[in-house]
Structure 1
Amino acid sequence: MPTAHFCRFEHQVRTRVITIGIDPHKSSHTAVAIDAAGHKTGQRRFVVNAGTFQKLMRWSEQWPERRFAVEGAGGLGRTLAQQLAAAGEDVVDVPSTLSARARLLATGGDRKTDPADALHVAQVGLFRTDLRKVTAEDQSTILRLLTERHNDLVNERTRITNRLHAVLRDLLPGGAPTRLSADKAAALMKGIRPLTATDNCRRDIAPDLLADLRRLDHQVKDNEA
């Protein structure tokens, strides 16, 4: 196809695409559709429930060539943005700072309503070319979540181990070994003979710490698996 013809074809495709801006909230999502000139062509409010995504898709099917602009796709709008991306939709993330700026620049920009906000999100999605494209989460996201959980568990295990080590140090002559495991701690605790009321309290605390340590050991192992 000659370059001039291709450019005209590309322009025609772009002018047919409808941009759907979404202003997400915990209880409802407001969607506003605009054409390539920025004129509103549709508006709908969706109550957030199990069927929200399906209702949004049915409503948006009236525009076969469409793209979505979701405010805060990494925050409050993450779930909806991920559902759209997983369904193969073209989705961009509109930071709230950009939609707020668009609202201030608009006529009557001091009026803040959900439809107006969704309209400004759509306009930002239409006219900005530097917005982050939302991609569906994959195995790398799962690995990142598991790694973060593993780090949390290991840090908590270290804290509990240090606390148990301190209690045993005050109960046993010479204290406990540096590399303290749940089994080693259990064996040491069998030989504890409290001499004071304070030591009795320490002895009562030690089994709780040991139980926490065993639980964390199991959780770390499950996470690694």
Structure 2
Amino acid sequence: MVTVGIDPHKNVHVAVAVDAEGRRVSRPLTVKNDATQISALLKWIRSIAGGTPVTWAIEDGRGFARRLADGLLLAGHEVVWVPTRLMAAHRKLHAATGSKSDPVDAAAVAHAAIATPGLDRHRIDERVRELRVLVDLRADLVKRRTVVINQVKAYTHLWLDHTPGDLTRAPGLTALTTLLDTSETGRHVRRVLSEMLSEIASLNQRIRALEATIRELVSPLAPALLEITGISHVSAAVLLAEIGDITRFTDSAKLARYTGCAPIPVYSSDKERHRLHRGGNRRLNSVLYTAAIVQQRFHPGARDLLARHEPTKGARGARRILKRHLIDVIHRAMLRDRASWQHHVTEHRLAA
């Protein structure tokens, strides 16, 4: 049996293969974190393992390695997650003193997987996987629409001395089209701007269609989550897509750290204070920021919390406290939703 330890990063992943005794059986492999990573890893491991069973052990960084784990699992391989602390313990045990590198970490991941048979197996929930695709596509379309809208605003201000309003809605597009038709701009400029307005209208339509599909999929999956003020269907879909199985966060504090909402303690001159955590999953952090802003406007309890902390923490500090409180609420809601999924699965099995 061959165990492959992987040290995942944002741009590249480093893989090391070891045998059942923990001995390396090849040189480390570095692959780019892109669409070619799965084929490169499978080609590499076939040349090493032949027909021997392979277990892929990945250091638990599911933000960077989720796509990798999904691809390996869909290719028919077993994938396990190795906690970072467990990897660090085996690195101290097996590596030379003071030795630390990506291959050393990857080998420590493999050794930890061999020594700990009960590690968490990677699983794919098809409903969540569908949401990931839809949410990612919507984000790409929104980015493209923003680029085109900014270009149109720049060109219209240059040629028409006019800055258009909201072009994500039909009235704004109609008003600008009418202005363009009655202006004295050259026909080439008019043609270019007309094509860009048509592209914006098409993107608006595609985004609305995606949002309708997301609403249809996420409503039965996250009823408790959607009851939270400030959590829209798109926000709930992002939470489900990025977090996946909420049970992997045993408490809300770990989820807060993952989302970048946990304040980091700083000690200076025997004084303890906390600073902003600039790490974590920024996509989830953005969802929480939006929810906090909406709650600040519409939720009486949130306004009371902000009013209580603003005198000492300031407006931004109070909002961070609200975001950290929202993590507790979201964690409980997602656990309730997850339990309802399992209940429905059990009922379906009994009915079958």
Judge same fold: TM > 0.5, yes or no. Answer: yes
- Helix, strand or coil at the partner of 1:20: strand
Shift of residue 121, structure 1, vs aligned partner: 0.2
The answer to whether residue 36 in structure 2 is matched with residue 60 in structure 1 is no
Does the 8 A contact of 1:30 with 1:114 survive in 2?
A: no
CA pair 114-190 structure 1, distance change in 2 beyond 3 A: closer
Partner Cα distance (2:26, 2:45) in 1: 9
Provide the aligned length of Structure 1 versus Structure 2.
193
Shift of residue 125, structure 1, vs aligned partner: 1.9
- Do the aligned partners of residues 146 and 176 (structure 1) sit closer, same or farther apart at CA in structure 2, a change above 3 Å counting? closer
Q: Please, what is the CA RMSD of the aligned residues?
A: 4.6
1:218: which partner in 2?
202
- What residue number does 1:182 align with? 173
Partner of 1:29: 15
Structure 1 counterpart SS, 2:76:
coil
Partner residue in 2 for 1:40: 22
- Structure 1, residues 108-161: CA drift from partner, whole Å, max 9, x if none? 341124543232101222344674422357464243332343255457757939
Note if contact 1:22-1:32 (Cα within 8 Å) is conserved in structure 2: no
Uncovered stretches (5+) of structure 1, i.e. residues with no partner: 1-16, 195-203
Structure 2 vs 1, CA of residues 68 and 150 (structure 1 numbering), >3 Å: closer, same or farther?
A: closer
> TM (normalized to structure 1)?
0.58
Q: Percent of pairs identical after alignment?
A: 26
* Alpha-carbon distance, 1:90 to partner: 1.4
Measured in 2, the distance between the counterparts of 1:93 and 1:209 equals 51
Q: Secondary structure at the match of 1:189?
A: helix
Residues 74-223 of structure 1 mapped to structure 2, 5 A cutoff: 74-96=62-84, 98-106=86-94, 108-128=96-116, 131-136=119-124, 138=126, 140-151=128-139, 153-154=141-142, 157=145, 160=149, 171=162, 180-192=171-183, 211-222=195-206
**Pairwise CA distance, 1:218:** 1.8
Aligned to 1:20: 4
Structure 2 Cα separation of the partners of residues 89 and 190 of structure 1:
60
Q: Cα offset for 1:92?
A: 1.0
Flag the 1:209–1:128 CA change in 2: closer, same or farther, 3 A: farther
Which amino acid is 2:6 matched to?
A: I
Structure 2 alignment gaps of length 5 or more: 211-352
Tell me, in whole angstroms, the C-alpha distance in 2 between the residues paired with 1:221 and 1:110: 57
Counterpart in 2 of 1:198?
A: none
Structure showing greater radius of gyration is: 1
Cα distance between partner residues in 2 of 1:176 and 1:140: 32
Q: What TM-score results when the alignment is normalised by the length of structure 2?
A: 0.41
Distance 2:30 2:51 in 1: 20
Output one character per residue of 1:18-75: Cα deviation in whole Å (capped at 9) or x when no partner.
5432345738632223x3xxx32442234647544123134234533x4221235635
Task: Name the one with the larger helix percent.
Answer: 2
Judged with a 3 Å threshold, the aligned counterparts in structure 2 of structure 1 residues 143 and 75 are, in CA distance, closer, same or farther, namely closer
Counterpart code for 1:87 = A
Distance in 2 of aligned mates of 1:27 and 1:126: 20
Structure 1 residues 90 and 179: alpha-carbon distance in aligned structure 2, compared to 1, 3 A threshold: closer
- Would you say the 8 A contact 1:32–1:43 is kept in 2? yes
Output the CA distance in 1 between the equivalents of 2:49 and 2:71. 14
